[in-house]
Amino acid sequence: MTACHFCGALSILLVSGVSEAPAGQTDRGAASSGEAEISAHRWFNNPVFKLKDDREVLLFFFTLGANEAGKESLRTAEKLNRLCDNPKRVVIGLTTAPASQVERFIKQHHIRFTVGSGSRSATAFRVEKFPTVLRIDRRRPGSDEPSLHVVQTVAWVSLNAEAIDGLVDSTAASTDSTSLPTSGEGNPWTRRFSSLQEMDVIDLMNFIEDVESDREYQGWSRAAAVRVLSEAAPKEDFLEFAAARLAVESNARVRCNLKYYMDVVSGLRKDDEGQSVSAKAFLAFRDDPEQESWAPVRAYQAIGEQERANWRRLLDVYHGHFADDPANTLVRRMVVEDLWHRCTDDIQVRNALMEVISTDPDASIRMIAAMGLTKKCATGDIEAAEFLEAMAEIEPNLKGTRPMLEYAAGRIRTGETHADDLPVANP
C-alpha cells in the first residue's frame, strides 16, 4: 500500500439529459450543468486515474464503522476489489473517514483500488446513502471516444448491489485469461490486440519479454501475445522461446498461457478451454431468472441473511447440490461466494474453501474459492500456500483457474498483491 500526501481534485463538468439507465442502475445524471470534484485530503494506493485514460470509472462512496452502512460498505469493497484485475475499469473509493482509519481499513482487508480519505465529493455528486457506486461515462455526447479535456463531459448512473454483482461475475465468468474484456473498434483492448496481430514473430517475442510494457494491464496483453505467437511462429521456434521464457516469467497469467500453448502446439491438447458450467449458468440465470429450471437457485436466494452467514448452513447447502447440472452448479458457486463474503469464522471458512478447491468439478468455483483464501488466510500461512501450489500443479484449467491458484499462493506467502511480483513457480 502506498499513500500520496497531497490534496488532489479532478474537476468534472456535469451534464443533464442522461439516457435511461439500464436494469439494476439508477439515473443520477445532473439536473443542470455544474462542476463536481473527485477530491480527497489524502490518497492511498497511488491514484491511477489519468485525464487521458479511456477506462470506465467506478466511484465508490463508502463509510467505515460497525453499523449496517459500514458492514455493507465492506461487502461492496470486497466485490470491487475483484475488479482490479480488469484493465477496462478503474475503481476510486471516496470516504469522509480520516487517513488513519482508512489506512487500517486498507491493510486489514487488502484493498487494492485507489482510496481517498477525508473526501467531501459525496455532496458534489449528491450521494446521500452509503455505500453508493457510480459508473462514470466520460465520453463526449455522440462519441465513442473519451473526452481528453481537463474538464470532462460526463454522465453517471448509480449501480445497485445486483448490478455490481453482475460486473464482478461477468469479469470472472470467462476463465479464458486471454479473452479480451470488451470488443468494438473504439475499445482500447481491441486496438491493443489488433496491434499484436500486426507484429512479426521477433516483435511478439520482444513484447512478451518486456514486463514493463504490460505492467498497466497486469499481464493480459502479454498473455494474449503468447496466443498470437503460438499461431505465427514455427513450431520449434515457439517451443524453444516459450520454454526459455517460462523459466523466468513471474506473471502467473503469462506463465500459464505459455504452458497452455506449448501443449497446444505440441498436440497434447486442443485450444478449447472455454467458460465453465457455473459461468454459463450465471449468465443464463441473469438473463431469465424465472425459468423453471432455476428453482434451486431461487430457493437458495430466498434463504435469510443470517443463514447465509452461517458456515455450517452453507456447507450443508453446498453438499446438497453436488450435481453437475447448471442450477446445482450455480448454487454451489453462490455458496462459495457467500462463504468468504459473509462468514466471519475465518478458520472454518479457510478449511471449507480448501475442500472446495480439491473437490469441486467446476473451474470457476475453484477459482472463486482460491480468491476467498486470500481473504481468510493470514499472511505467512505456509500450509495454505503449499496446498494451493500443489493444487496448481494438477489444475486442468490452465488459463483461468491455475493462474489464480498460483497468485493466491504467492499472496498468502508474502502478502504481496501484485501478480508481477509473485515468486517464480517451478515450470
Per-residue pLDDT of the chain (427 residues; tens, 9 = 90+): 555 444 454 433 333 223 233 334 444 443 333 456 788 888 888 665 554 456 678 889 999 988 888 988 998 898 888 777 666 678 899 999 999 999 999 888 878 888 999 998 888 888 888 998 888 765 444 444 433 222 333 444 455 665 555 555 555 444 333 344 444 444 455 566 678 888 999 999 999 998 877 666 667 788 889 999 999 999 999 999 999 999 999 888 899 999 999 999 999 988 877 789 999 999 899 888 999 999 999 999 999 888 889 999 999 999 999 999 999 999 999 999 999 888 989 999 999 999 999 999 999 999 999 999 998 999 999 999 999 999 999 999 988 899 899 989 999 998 876 544 443 333 3
Please say whether the beta carbons of 96 and 62 come within 8 A. Answer: no
CATH architecture assignment, domain 3-160: 3-Layer(aba) Sandwich (3.40)
Closest CA to 9 of 165, 106, 125, 157: 125
Residue 13 is classified by DSSP as E
Q: Look over the chain and give the mean of its residue pLDDT values, rounded to a whole number.
A: 78
How many angstroms separate the CA atoms of 150 and 132, rounded?
Answer: 25
Please say whether the beta carbons of 51 and 152 come within 8 A. Answer: yes
- pLDDT value at position 165? 57
- All 3 cell numbers of residue 254? 503469462
pLDDT tens by residue, 273-320:
778 999 999 989 988 899 999 999 999 999 988 888 999 999 999 999
User: 184: buried, middle or exposed (CB in 10 Å: 19+, 13-18, 0-12)?
Assistant: exposed
How many angstroms separate the CA atoms of 191 and 184, rounded?
Answer: 9
User: 334: buried, middle or exposed (CB in 10 Å: 19+, 13-18, 0-12)?
Assistant: buried
Within 13 A of 155's CA, how many CA atoms are on the CB side?
19
Q: At what angle do helices 220-232 and 201-209 cross, to 10 degrees?
A: 150
Q: How many other C-beta atoms are found inside a 10 Å radius of the C-beta of residue 359?
A: 11
Closest CA to 40 of 105, 97, 114, 118: 118
Please say whether the beta carbons of 209 and 245 come within 8 A. Answer: yes
Please say whether the beta carbons of 89 and 159 come within 8 A. Answer: no
Residue 210 is classified by DSSP as -
